[in-house]
Amino acid sequence: MIKVETILAHGTVIAMDDAFTLITDGAVAMDGDSIVALGPAAEILRDYTAAAVVDCHDCAIMPGLINSHTHVPMTLLRGLADDLRLDVWLMGYMMPVEREFVTPEFVRVGTLLGCAEMIRSGVTTFADMYYFEDAIAEATAQAGLRAVLAQTVLKFPTPDADSYEDAIEYCRKFIEKWKGHALIVPAVGPHAHYTCPPEVLEACVTLATEYNVPLHTHVSETALEVEDSRKQHGMPVVPWIRRHGLLETQLIAAHCVHVDSGEILTLQHAGAGVVHNPSSNLKLASGVAPVGEMIAANVKLGLGTDGTASNNDLDMFEEMRLASFIAKGISHDPLAVPAKTTLMLATIGGARAVHLDHLTGSLEVGKRADVVVVNLTGLHNTPRFARDPELVYSQLVYACKSSDVRDVWCNGQAVMRDWDVLTVDIPTVMEQAQAIAVQIDRFLMTREGNLLDKLIAIGGIAQEESYEVQVKVAVEDAAQVDRVLQQAPIRVERSSVRRQYDTYFLFADPTQGRIRYREDELLNKAGAVTESRYSLTFTEPAKEREFEQSVLLSRSRFTARADRSLRFYREYFRPVNEREVNKERRRYHILYKETEFAINVDQVTTPNLPGWYMEIKSRTWSPRDADKKAALISELLALLKVDPRGVTRTEYVEI
């Protein structure tokens, strides 16, 4: 008799090895961190003796599941903002909240919460990508789970790095600290090819190669991403990342929703791991990865939940069921991705995808003891048929719930016994998570109540607050204005002709101000567009002061280059109303009595307004300066022979 620590006996052993070994009334012997033996219970109990013999009657004994792509601390952002498009969700909500809240303590709490949830759903290994990965590693090791943890690298500042160089440095230290750990495999995580320019991608590849660690990134998640890649690089995403060396690393490519047959072969040939995230891809309406084709091509394919902010849980049983059903649904083929294949994706397939199949993913002698016991006696599991042992696969994938997972061992250590998680203090972690949620709620409530805060939250805005003295007046003859401007004492410094398409976002409470999205086309003499600019302007409603002839010291404005689409801003700001104002504008920059003014002569085409309007404006910075400029504007109006009765205080959007 050989002495071992633990024997799991009298369950259905589902090995998920190459032969798909299935043993009804089987047993698994574990000692230290490894599996020592498996076989019929009678034989194992004959040859081995253990301090703990765990009765597994009416249970499945199978490899721990592998969640091959997630962002585990995002459990703390679960349910924060839903039913949004990927860019609005990511740039409008996730990233601003992350910039404000993500600290080592935040990721510690989020990781413990996520690990507890994963343990309960039978996960023993996960692949992560987030910030402060060192704190994630500490918490993961405490929870007793195996993980490939990728430190995120991005071109812009993140919660843990001011630049990508800092992120690479952090990553290097992180790798040096954790390499060789029994549970943790450190990795490099360039977020995606569209957030990491070539030099950043290449720095990540160099680092991953130097330490021989995996490289985890997002690939071809949305159709738009692929379209942009074709436009910018003249090729889809996989050839682009190949050009920058990513396929020469131990690559973990999350998503690959929009890849063609050639790209699938390239990924297979390179031995890249690919991770299918059906819930996340469906929830964000990104599409469905060509899983059937990838399986046929023998790609190293795993399954993942992605972060809980886009799922919204870490339940791998749900992920399995969905992966199988969606593949059948879109292919109109009920034979597509059967239960056994699906369980493979969640176990040994995932182990291959995250480059850990030498350690985990199947029950084999010598592999690490990452084992779960699933109770099969629940109401939803009744009845069971015994004539074909293989029916257990469909039972596990189509009927079982994560709550059927009874026991979990990872690396030989029991992390859950009889539904009791042993390594995480769940009530304390839940309390800490709720306390953070209260703070995030407070932050977002303040932001949502203030347009300017909301604008600043998405970044990129230069806080260019400016005050202007200005007047607007209807003019009958634009040519006349043009003639006067060409004469002394006025000097035109420069002038341009443009076509401006403005969309105003209006809100229920007008004192909030409004937002203008402008497409500004610069025209040459022949009337052809030579340049287009996009800007976003926030205007506060308060009129600070009024001078004679309705010359106003205007509202403060904040203007930024609009680097996202009108659609993005619409979905982000959610105005109650929108108004369009289009016009052709002649713009003059003039000097009058050593003072600069901008003069706009506008013909408004939408709405269709008769005649022209002229605006005279000048930036100002002090009350005395404003007084002086207001007086000069009155003089200019006289010089331009404008009928003062035509002066209007309304903006185009209000006309």
Contact status, residue 299 vs residue 219, Cβ threshold 8 Å: no
308 vs 470 by CB, closer to Zn ion: 308
Tokens 């497409």 — which residue? 519
- In the bound complex, which residue of the shown chain has the CB atom lying closest to Zn ion? 306
Distance CA 243, CA 159 (A): 29
Q: Give helix 133-143 / helix 164-178 axis angle, nearest 10°.
A: 30
The half-sphere exposure of 8 on its side-chain side, counting CA atoms within 13 A, is 35
3-state SS string for 163-210 = CHHHHHHHHHHHHHHHCCCCCEEEEEEECECCCCCHHHHHHHHHHHHH
Distances (CA, A) of 585 to 522, 529, 606, 608: 10, 13, 13, 14
225 vs 306 by CB, closer to Zn ion: 306
Least Å from the CB of residue 150 to Zn ion: 10
Provide the sign of the torsion angle of the four alpha carbons 261, 266, 270, 272, taken in this order: negative
Least Å from the CB of residue 622 to Zn ion: 51
90 vs 376 by CB, closer to Zn ion: 90
Contact status, residue 361 vs residue 63, Cβ threshold 8 Å: yes
Q: Please, which of residues 394-453 interact with Zn ion by CB under 5 A?
A: none
69 vs 242 by CB, closer to Zn ion: 69
144 vs 304 by CB, closer to Zn ion: 304
* Closest-CA residue to 339 (of 390, 279, 389): 390
Phi, psi of 491 (to 5 degrees): -125, 125
Q: Establish whether the linkage from the previous residue to 157 is cis, with ω within 30° of 0.
A: no
Least Å from the CB of residue 304 to Zn ion: 8
Least Å from the CB of residue 516 to Zn ion: 34
Q: Could you write out the DSSP letters of every residue in 460-495?
A: ------BEEEEEEEEES-HHHHHHHHTSTT-EEEEE
Q: Please, which of residues 572-601 interact with Zn ion by CB under 5 A?
A: none
Phi, psi of 448 (to 5 degrees): -65, -25
195 vs 480 by CB, closer to Zn ion: 195
Least Å from the CB of residue 137 to Zn ion: 18
Contact status, residue 447 vs residue 534, Cβ threshold 8 Å: no
277 vs 411 by CB, closer to Zn ion: 277
**Residue 128 binding Zn ion, by CB under 5 A:** no
306 vs 357 by CB, closer to Zn ion: 306
Interface characters, 267-306, with Zn ion (x: CB under 5 A): ---------------------------------------x
Residues in the interface with Zn ion (CB under 5 A) total: 1
107 vs 636 by CB, closer to Zn ion: 107
Distances (CA, A) of 356 to 181, 350, 351, 508, 612: 13, 8, 5, 55, 71
Least Å from the CB of residue 440 to Zn ion: 20
113 vs 536 by CB, closer to Zn ion: 113
Least Å from the CB of residue 96 to Zn ion: 18
280 vs 503 by CB, closer to Zn ion: 280
306 vs 615 by CB, closer to Zn ion: 306
Q: Please, which of residues 299-358 interact with Zn ion by CB under 5 A?
A: 306
Least Å from the CB of residue 350 to Zn ion: 15
Least Å from the CB of residue 98 to Zn ion: 13
273 vs 412 by CB, closer to Zn ion: 273
Distance CA 249, CA 219 (A): 15
Least Å from the CB of residue 195 to Zn ion: 12
Tokens 């436009």 — which residue? 231
Least Å from the CB of residue 192 to Zn ion: 9
Interface characters, 597-626, with Zn ion (x: CB under 5 A): ------------------------------
Q: From the centroid of its chain, how far is CA 253?
A: 15
Q: Where are the beta strands (DSSP E) in 237-338?
A: 250-255, 273-276, 300-303
* Closest-CA residue to 300 (of 336, 275, 328, 330): 275
Least Å from the CB of residue 277 to Zn ion: 7
Q: b vs e for 199-212, b when ≥16 Cβ sit within 10 Å of the residue's Cβ?
A: ebbbbbbebbeeee
Distances (CA, A) of 42 to 8, 23, 46, 47, 368: 12, 11, 6, 9, 23
Least Å from the CB of residue 69 to Zn ion: 6
User: In angstroms, how far is the first alpha carbon of the chain from the final one?
Assistant: 94
Distance CA 407, CA 413 (A): 11
Residues at the site binding Zn ion, with contacts judged by CB under 5 A? 306
